[in-house]
Amino acid sequence: MTVKFNFPRRSLLACAAVAALLPGLAAAKCADIPGKGEINIVGSSMPSVQHLAKEMESCSKGTLKVTIKITPEARVETERAFGSDGKSAFDAAVISGGVYSNLASRGQLQSLTDLVAKYKVKYKIEDNMLVKSGNDVLAIAYQQNAQNLYYRKDLFDKHGIKVPTTYAEMLQAAAVIKAKEPSIEFPIAQTFSKGFDISTEFVNIYVGLGGKLFKPGTAQPAFNDEIGVRTIELMKSMVPFMTPNYLASNSDDVMNQFMQGKAAMGVLWASRAARMDDPAASKIVGKMEFAAAPAAMVGGKSATHLWWDGVAMPKNLANDRDLVFQVLMDALDEETTKAGNDSTIWIRSIYKPTRFGTGVILSMKAGAPIWPTEPYVGLATGELGKLVPEAMGGTMTPKQALDAAAVAYTRAATEKGFIK
Amino acid sequence: MKTKSFLQFVGPSVAMMLLLLAAPLLLTFYLSVRNCAMEMEMVKIEESTPFGKKETLTQRAKLDAAGKAIQSCSFVGLDYYRKVLGLDAEAAQPGGPPEAAGTIAKGDKADNEFLGALRFTMIYTFVTLPFVLGIGFLLALGVNGVSQNLKGAFISASLLPFIITPVVAALSIKWLFRDDGLVPYLLSQVGVQVFWMAQAWSARLLIILYGIWHVVPFAFIVLYAGLQSVPQDALEAATIDGASRWQKLRYVTLPHLMPLIVFITLIHLMDAYRVFEPVMVLTQGAFTTSVQYLTYHILLQESNPYKASAAAVLTLIGIVVLLIPLLVKTYREQKRGV
Amino acid sequence: MGKRPLSLSILLYGGLVFWLVIASLPVVWTAIISFRQYLDAFSSPVKWVAPFTMENYTRLWIEKEFYRNFLNTALVTVFTVTISLTVGCLAAYALSRYRGSLGFWLLMVALMFRAIPHSSLLPSFFTLFDALGIRNTYFTLIFVLVAINQPFTIWMLRSFFINIPNELDEAALVDGCTRFQAFRRVIIPVMWPGVITTGLFSFLLAYNDFLLSSALTSGDKMTMTAAIANSISAESETLLMQGVAGAVSITIPLIILVVIFQKQIVGGLTQGAVKG
């Protein structure tokens, strides 16, 4: 009897010893998070989110189940869930700086300050990652992003083109490629699709031309001024070099155009860069290089904005906040960053910058500002996203479109209480 | 049957319909005349991001003790109705540009969304109807003249567009007509290049084609059944009288099928008015929208249940107006039959 | 009818074949490309023959756990149909036997309810269900679908019940049965053909529903149609090919249904027309 008892116990001890001496080896993620239930997270289809999703879902074991919903409509779904009167459908969301501003202004994000303090050491949460409003930590950022210039170095070298530093130079480069490179009919690919994409392009170039979206200190619109008209005209001058279907080009579509070798340059999110070298999907492995987004005018700042993406939890959370936080931090730990190093520009210090991140860093150096944080920016971009395409397509003049957007925005902002 | 038994038997069904259809409808009316907004205040706050710290002057919602944004709700009358119909040119704020009123009058999309949606929904409904009836009738005639063993297989295969999940059907069509899909490729072989989903006319055409494709089987089957019951003696009498194929069709068959044609029309009007999936899948409401999609869009994208309710009520008014003639006709027939 | 001229025959068969091709093309093509990788499925120029792969399906069903969505759809559909038919049969029986004008008005009101655009109900659904905390539950979706389909269900069932001779239950009543006993003893045994047909249409309405299913479920309660909504704006490989596999997966049960129940479906469509 005694022998029987000792044997299993000793082998158990042996197993434990082995397990303790082999850290990280097949240690299932979240090995030491005690918890049960379901955790639901939502995020966009960015490559880094897909990488995080794998990490988060590998936390599912036993009674704990983690699911992440990846959808291009993540923005809308997050705002809906976090803003609902009942409990949120999602326990956490991967959000961008813009969505953060909306949610924070409505008081819909919960403070994570105490949780950060509790788990700072365990998950090595760095100060850079904390997104604070006043003294409250409302989000933990993990990646920086910006739209920067993508260009086919091989083609540029072949035709003796210098890397453009202004949009004017980019148009010249496009003209050269269109004339001299038979394989490329539409050299520029950029996210001009109606809605968020084209409105972001507008804001990038508008601010790059020195414009101010709102009258200082108020939520009154100022984007329908003369600079706004020049912005649309600059955008229109790009159209001859883009696919006729440019009003449908979203990030996925632009990526396709690059990866299929159909376009030679454009301003696109840095977070999409790594896919250019994915042999399963790309025909142009190793040929794409990255630089700062061109300035909109000579001597201007790089016409792009800096974004961060991170995770946040809603006030109307229905779950165990400690558990959710741990799952999130586990997914954002150093191992994840290391494993997915090339998939985006991580904020963590252990990130090794790759050439995919060059564009963002160069844009930053060239003075790109951070995306405006006013909570009513989303309302303005919503209206711009609907009306700028009308100006692009010629059914309205730029001034008409901008004025209509200003009126519609004013109405929406008044409805929401930003304008009294 | 005694009234008491009748009430007992229909009770559960009626209760469900009252609870989940009638009551929410009333609530929609109520919501359509209200608005809740958060109270915003200007605050100076230090915002800290991975890119550094910044003191910013911004607006934040006032929060209550539980940390939730304070909503102030009020009765706003027909405000949202006016907004959805694009009738409130005067409501432009003083800070807005002076040409604003003129711009709206020119019919910009953002404000006249409902009328634009209604226009397209009507076009869709009334363009698809004759094609559905026409093609369905031709198919019914055709199958009627085909040998027996082929009929079954043909009917099964024809049912597919009607049975298939609308969202799946719309997606299949989208994938066929994508820029790198089969149809654009085939068209490019004959020198035609169309970006189907990129412009209004082609997207609308696709939606209409979808509509016809989807409903033809229904018309076909109903009319085919009707053809089985054409009075044979009338047909024989006509043949004896020397009537041609066309005359028999016009004077015997069609009148016989008239009640069925009315039935198909009624059902089709109801369903076509509700067109949703193709609009959502093929355009996401970008430049062409239907009334049902508009309500959905306002509710989910703008997160404004009050404005959405106004759109919903306008949609309901639309279908009632559309159906009145047919409902009256059905009422008269039912009264006669019952 | 006299002998048909050859030209008309050619036109006839040609037209029918043309329609067959059009009717099945979208589905058939989607099915074909679902067994390909993205680069082969959407390539210009189009590839007529390409390597076969099951990876879209394995990724969808196993990694994305589409089987859960399938089970959700099964659950919602089975309950919706069962409850719909139960409640509907009772109401339809009464409507087929009652002579008063109340029955007539109920039918007219039901017809009007059938016309309600579903999205018109959404704003109040959201408000109500959020307040009660029941927005994302099977229970809510099932009962909403049952209510939405009641008008159609009772119209269709009534047209079948009218064909069951009054004498049958009258005899039972004379024998001393209550109304309900008469219903159970006499009607239920003979009502099945009509019930099955109505059940089929009820099934189709619940299975194919998209608007309400996607608005009222999220996370792992999503039905298959709700789950495929993710692929609507997808342009690139991952979500798109899963959507293609999903579309085919959703359609296969329907094809099986049409093949097995073709007669009932046709019968149901014509029944409504001829009698309604």
Q: What is the pLDDT of residues A256-278, one digit of tens each?
A: 889 888 999 999 999 888 888 88
CB–CB of B280/B293 below 8 Å?
yes
CB–CB of B49/B65 below 8 Å?
no
Q: Answer yes or no: is pLDDT of A24 > 70.
A: no
Q: Answer yes or no: is pLDDT of B331 > 60.
A: yes
In this predicted structure, what is the pLDDT of residue C3? 58
Highest mean pLDDT among B139-148, B172-181, B247-256: B172-181
CB–CB of B260/B267 below 8 Å?
no
CB contact under 8 A, B180 and C43: yes
Name the pTM for this structure. Answer: 0.83
Tokens of A343: 């998939």
A37 touches chain B (CB under 8 A): no
Give B198's contacts in chain A (Cβ within 8 Å). 244-245, 247-248
CA distance A81 to chain B (A): 10
A339 touches chain B (CB under 8 A): no
Stretch A17-33: mean pLDDT, rounded? 49
Between CA C208 and CA C258 the distance in angstroms is 14
Give B304's contacts in chain A (Cβ within 8 Å). 415
Between CA A394 and CA B201 the distance in angstroms is 15
Domains detected in chain C: 54-275 (1.10.3720.10)
CB contact under 8 A, A131 and B100: no
Q: Which residue has the tokens 């966009």?
A: A44
DSSP-derived letter for residue B195 is -
Chain C residue with minimal CA distance to A85? C130
In this predicted structure, what is the pLDDT of residue C273? 63
In this predicted structure, what is the pLDDT of residue A342? 82
CA distance A38 to chain B (A): 25
Q: Answer yes or no: is pLDDT of A17 > 60.
A: no
Q: Which residue has the tokens 């008005």?
A: C105
Q: Which residue has the tokens 């229970």?
A: C139
CB–CB of A225/A212 below 8 Å?
no
In this predicted structure, what is the pLDDT of residue B180? 78
Q: CA Rg, chain C, in Å?
A: 23
Q: How confident is the model at residue B124 (pLDDT cuts 50, 70, 90)?
A: very high
Residue B54 pairs in a beta bridge with B47
Q: Answer yes or no: is pLDDT of B19 > 90.
A: yes
In this predicted structure, what is the pLDDT of residue C125? 93
Give A386's contacts in chain B (Cβ within 8 Å). 109-110
Tokens of A222: 């100022």
B145 touches chain A (CB under 8 A): no
Higher pLDDT among residues A149 and B299, named by residue? A149
HSE-up of B58 (CA within 13 Å, CB side)?
Answer: 21
Stretch A9-22: mean pLDDT, rounded? 42
In this predicted structure, what is the pLDDT of residue A21? 40
Amino acid type, C47: K
Stretch B26-30: mean pLDDT, rounded? 94
In this predicted structure, what is the pLDDT of residue C90? 92
CB contact under 8 A, C230 and A250: no
Identify the three-state secondary structure at position C191. Answer: coil
Identify the three-state secondary structure at position B47. Answer: strand
The CA–CA distances, whole Å, from A224 to A21, A228, A415, C54 equal 65, 5, 20, 52
CB contact under 8 A, C230 and A71: yes
CB–CB of B120/B288 below 8 Å?
yes
In this predicted structure, what is the pLDDT of residue A130? 93
The phi, psi pair for A183, rounded to 5°, reads -75, -10
Q: Answer yes or no: is pLDDT of A378 > 80.
A: yes
In this predicted structure, what is the pLDDT of residue A159? 92
CB contact under 8 A, A70 and C129: no
Residues 111-140 of B with CB under 8 A from C: 135, 138-139
CA distance C116 to chain B (A): 7
HSE-up of B11 (CA within 13 Å, CB side)?
Answer: 7
A185 touches chain C (CB under 8 A): no
Domains detected in chain B: 117-336 (1.10.3720.10)
B178 touches chain C (CB under 8 A): yes
In this predicted structure, what is the pLDDT of residue C276? 41
Tokens of B42: 């200007």
Between CA B63 and CA B77 the distance in angstroms is 27
Chain B residue with minimal CA distance to C153? B13
Stretch A375-390: mean pLDDT, rounded? 90
DSSP string, B212-265: HHHHHHHHHHHHHHHHHTS-HHHHHHHHHTT--HHHHIIIIIHHHHHHHHHHHH
Chain A residue with minimal CA distance to B196? A245
CB–CB of A343/A51 below 8 Å?
yes
The 3-state secondary structure of chain A, one letter per residue: CHHHHHHHHHHHHHHHHHHHHCCCCCCCCCCCCCCCEEEEEEECCCHHHHHHHHHHHCCCECCEEEEEEECCCHHHHHHHHHHCCCCCCCCEEEEEHHHHHHHHHCCCECCCHHHHHHHHHHHCCCHHHEEEECCEEEEEEEEEEEEEEEEEHHHHHHCCCCCCCEHHHHHHHHHHHHHHCCCCCCCECCCCCCCHHHHHHHHHHHHHCCCCCECCCCCCECCCCHHHHHHHHHHHHHHHHCCCCHHHCCHHHHHHHHHCCCCCEEEEEHHHHHHHHCCCCCCCCCCEEEECCCECCCCCCECCCEEEEEEECECCCCCCHHHHHHHHHHHCCHHHHHHCHHHCEECCCCCCCCHHHHHHHHHHHCCCCECCCCCCHHHHHHHHHHHHHHHHHCCCCHHHHHHHHHHHHHHHHHHHCCCC
The 3-state secondary structure of A124-164, one letter per residue: CCCHHHEEEECCEEEEEEEEEEEEEEEEEHHHHHHCCCCCC
In this predicted structure, what is the pLDDT of residue B96? 41
Residues 41-100 of B with CB under 8 A from C: none
- Cβ-Cβ contacts under 8 Å for B35 (sequence gap 6 or more): A415, B73, B74, B76, B79, B80, B306
CB–CB of C119/B299 below 8 Å?
yes
CB contact under 8 A, A415 and B37: yes
CB contact under 8 A, C148 and B21: yes
CB contact under 8 A, C130 and A85: yes
In this predicted structure, what is the pLDDT of residue C9? 79
CB contact under 8 A, A72 and C129: no
Query: Cα–Cα–Cα angle for B306, B310, B315, nearest 5°?
Result: 140
Stretch B215-225: mean pLDDT, rounded? 91
CA distance B164 to chain C (A): 6
In this predicted structure, what is the pLDDT of residue A18? 44
B198 touches chain A (CB under 8 A): yes
CA C60 to chain centre: 23
Q: Answer yes or no: is pLDDT of B330 > 90.
A: no
Residues 192-211 of C with CB under 8 A from B: 204, 207-208, 210-211
Between CA B196 and CA B183 the distance in angstroms is 10
Residue A36 burial (CB count, 10 A): 10
Q: Answer yes or no: is pLDDT of B106 > 60.
A: no
Higher pLDDT among residues C163 and A211, named by residue? A211
CB–CB of C29/B179 below 8 Å?
no
Higher pLDDT among residues C65 and B335, named by residue? C65
In this predicted structure, what is the pLDDT of residue A14? 43
Q: Which parts of chain C register pLDDT below 50?
A: 1-2, 275-276
Between helices B3-17 and C66-97, what is the axis angle to 10°? 150
Mutate to test the interface with A, among C44, C64, C67, C233 (most CBs of A within 10 A): C233
Between CA B132 and CA B267 the distance in angstroms is 12
B104 touches chain A (CB under 8 A): yes
Q: What is the largest CA-CA distance in chain A?
A: 93
Q: Answer yes or no: is pLDDT of A9 > 80.
A: no
- Determine the length of chain A: 420
Give C183's contacts in chain B (Cβ within 8 Å). 9
Q: Answer yes or no: is pLDDT of A240 > 50.
A: yes
Give C107's contacts in chain B (Cβ within 8 Å). 334
Query: Cα–Cα–Cα angle for A292, A283, A252, nearest 5°?
Result: 60
Lowest mean pLDDT segment, chosen from A105-109, B52-56, C67-71: B52-56
The phi, psi pair for B260, rounded to 5°, reads -70, -40
Q: How confident is the model at residue A395 (pLDDT cuts 50, 70, 90)?
A: confident
Between CA C117 and CA B7 the distance in angstroms is 28
Q: Is the peptide bond before B130 cis (omega within 30 degrees of 0)?
A: no
- Topology annotation, domain A20-144+307-356: D-Maltodextrin-Binding Protein; domain 2 (3.40.190)
C-alpha dihedral, A254 to A260 to A265 to A268, nearest 10°: 30
In this predicted structure, what is the pLDDT of residue B69? 82
Between CA A65 and CA A59 the distance in angstroms is 7
For B284-319, the pLDDT digits (tens) are: 777 778 999 999 988 887 778 899 999 999 999 999
CA distance B56 to chain C (A): 34
Q: CA Rg, chain A, in Å?
A: 24
Nearest of C199, C196, C224, C192 to residue C209 by alpha carbon:
C224
User: Which of 1.10.357.10, 3.40.50.150, 3.40.190.10, 1.10.760.10 is the CATH number of A146-306+359-416?
Assistant: 3.40.190.10
Residues 47-86 of C with CB under 8 A from B: none
Which chains contact A through at least 3 pairs of Cβ atoms less than 8 Å apart? B, C
A-C Cβ pairs (cutoff 8 Å, strict) = 60
Query: Cα–Cα–Cα angle for A409, A414, A416, nearest 5°?
Result: 95
A73 touches chain C (CB under 8 A): yes
Give C187's contacts in chain B (Cβ within 8 Å). none
Residues of chain A with CATH 3.40.190.10: 20-144+307-356, 146-306+359-416
Instruction: Name which of B40, B95, B286 is nearest A194 (Cβ-Cβ).
Output: B286
CB contact under 8 A, B167 and C207: no
Q: How confident is the model at residue B205 (pLDDT cuts 50, 70, 90)?
A: very high
Stretch B105-112: mean pLDDT, rounded? 44
Q: Which residue has the tokens 């303790």?
A: A20
CB–CB of B306/B36 below 8 Å?
yes
In this predicted structure, what is the pLDDT of residue A8? 44
Which chains contact B through at least 3 pairs of Cβ atoms less than 8 Å apart? A, C
In this predicted structure, what is the pLDDT of residue B88? 65
Nearest of B209, B218, B220, B118 to residue B169 by alpha carbon:
B209
In this predicted structure, what is the pLDDT of residue B89? 54
CB contact under 8 A, B50 and A128: yes
Between CA A192 and CA A243 the distance in angstroms is 11
Could you give the ipTM of this predicted complex? 0.90
CB contact under 8 A, A407 and B97: yes
Q: How confident is the model at residue B92 (pLDDT cuts 50, 70, 90)?
A: very low
Between CA C93 and CA C113 the distance in angstroms is 20
- By percentage, how much of chain A surpasses pLDDT 70? 92
Stretch A337-345: mean pLDDT, rounded? 86
C209 φ/ψ sector (left φ>0, alpha ψ -120 to 50, else beta): beta
